[in-house]
Amino acid sequence: MKLVGILIALVLVANGAALMGAWRNRSVVRSEFTVTEEQCSVQMGERNRPTTYLHCLFSQRWTDVWLNERRMREFGFDTGDSDRAAHQLPRRGFAAIRIGEPGAPAVDFAFDAGTLQERFPDRQTHTILPAELSATYATGPFQPRGAILVFLPAMAIPHGQAIPEQQPGQRVRFTAKIRIGRNYEPWLVEFHPR
């Protein structure tokens, strides 16, 4: 009976931790921004899995010069021309995203969010999101660079939301409002198909 009690406590503690985390996240709104099909995509449900999700992936590869060899060394990456350097693991941190621009480009990266909050205090123009930084290599002449990957966890779109039937291969057009909370986790506030 004692072990059954421990099992029940395990379930309650795990769920409690997740719910507390979500409640704590949503108790503070760090930023709020609008996305469209330019930045995010809708994954339609199907017969057995009818829930529709919004996926947002902001990534940057080769587009800006700021993630150069010097910055990558500062972030602790080996920028040498070796096998080991070419197979380094991505590191977790935070990226500053310029909102309201097509593609929502990442403009800076840091291991702690506070540094970026200080550099980009305007919540109307920038938002801070968890991101991954990995080393990439240009083909041709050896040129180490960084690549930032910013993805939000998938957000379920409310079940009652009518999404117009799409032609095969056609993307759902929409406007969605997303909030980022205290723990830099998002939640969907509004979703309007167009």
Partner 1 sequence: MDRKAAQERVDRIAAFRAELSALEAAGAIELPDEQRESLRNYHDSLMAGFQRDFDVDTTAGAEKLSLAMRIASALGGLAFCLALDLFVEQFWGRLPLAAQIVLLVAAPLAGIALAEFASRRERTLYFTSLLCLIALAAFMVDLTKLAELLALRPTPGAIFAWAAMALLFAYHYRLRLQLLIGLVLAATFVPLCILYVAGFRWESAFVRPELLLIPGAAMAWLTTRQAADFAPVWRAVATAAVLGSLISLAVWGYGTLLPIGKASAEGIYTLLSFASCGGAIAAAIRFHWTETTILGSVFFVIFLLSKTYQWLWDVVPAYFFFTIIGLISLGLIAAFRRLREANRVRPA
Q: Which residues bind partner 1 (CB under 8 A)?
A: 1, 3-4, 6-8, 10-12, 14-15, 17-19, 21-22, 48-51, 53, 82-84, 86-87, 89-93, 111, 130, 132, 134, 152-156, 158-159, 185-188
Cα 33 from Cα 7, distance rounded (Å): 41
How deeply is 45 buried, as exposed, middle or buried, from its count of CB atoms within 10 A (0-12, 13-18, 19+)? Answer: middle
Nearer to partner 1, 37 or 149 (CB): 149
Closest contact distance (angstroms) between CB of 166 and partner 1 is 19
DSSP 74-132: HTT---SSSHHHHTPPPEEEEEEEETTSTT--EEEEESSHHHHHHH---TTTEEEEEEE
Closest contact distance (angstroms) between CB of 165 and partner 1 is 18
Closest contact distance (angstroms) between CB of 159 and partner 1 is 3
Nearer to partner 1, 36 or 161 (CB): 161
Q: CA torsion 44→178→114→18, rounded to 10°?
A: -60
Tokens 């920028």 appear where? 79
Nearer to partner 1, 17 or 138 (CB): 17
Closest contact distance (angstroms) between CB of 188 and partner 1 is 7
| 75 and 88 Cβ atoms separated by less than 8 Å | no
Closest contact distance (angstroms) between CB of 90 and partner 1 is 4
Nearer to partner 1, 16 or 164 (CB): 16
Nearer to partner 1, 50 or 121 (CB): 50
